[in-house]
Amino acid sequence: MAMGELQLTTGKAMEIMLVEDSLLDARITIESLRKCGIHHRVTLFRDGSEAVEFLQQRGIFTRAPRPDVILLDLILPHTDGFELLKLLRASQNIESIPVVVLTSSDDGADKQACEALGVTTYIRKPFNEVKFLSVIRRFKELSLVADFEESAVHAENPTAHAENPSVQPECPTA
């Protein structure tokens, strides 16, 4: 099945955590997701400290869901993206969350530091929408497979959670 033709979905929405201090960049990112039919919960944090509280389920975030993917800017107030990455990779239960860095930095040292911290993908802003969306779709597909396998193992009737096909809208090309 070619990507973009048919998408299998389950009832669980993907949790996307967006850590971005620029409202304009956050809006562009969210609109890119929506434009291509990726209508999942996006939780926006404008500083790194609040994102850390969410990830560690502290304070008002004690019941926060675990994100399926984190979209992370590097230059943030309070706790920058590098510090957030270090904390994430050192914390049990959240160290394996995939991270896509969306940054305006063209410093090769930043990219190397991100790779050393296990960043899944590094994308410079303004980003290529097609590349960005292909990365997000890949995470969605992995999340759907895991959700389906989990529901088949835990449900009394695994066929009650059958996947439903839906047509995926076409995304803009490069």
Say if 84 falls within a structural domain: yes
Residues in the chain: 174
Q: Identify the domain containing residue 26 by its residue range.
A: 13-152
Q: How far apart are CA 163 and CA 157, in angstroms?
A: 14
Mean pLDDT of the chain: 77
Say if 82 falls within a structural domain: yes
Query: What whole-number percentage of the chain has pLDDT above 70?
Result: 72
Say if 165 falls within a structural domain: no
* Total domain count, the chain: 1
pLDDT value of position 19: 97
Say if 60 falls within a structural domain: yes
Say if 89 falls within a structural domain: yes
Neighbours of 91 (CB within 10 A): 13
- Whole-model pTM: value is 0.74
Predicted confidence (pLDDT) per residue in 137-172, tens digit: 777 666 544 444 443 333 444 333 333 333 344 555
Predicted confidence (pLDDT) per residue in 94-147, tens digit: 999 999 999 988 899 999 999 999 998 898 887 777 777 787 777 766 654 444
pLDDT value of position 36: 72
Q: Which amino acid is at 146?
A: A
Say if 173 falls within a structural domain: no
Give me the CATH number covering residue 36: 3.40.50.2300
pLDDT value of position 60: 95
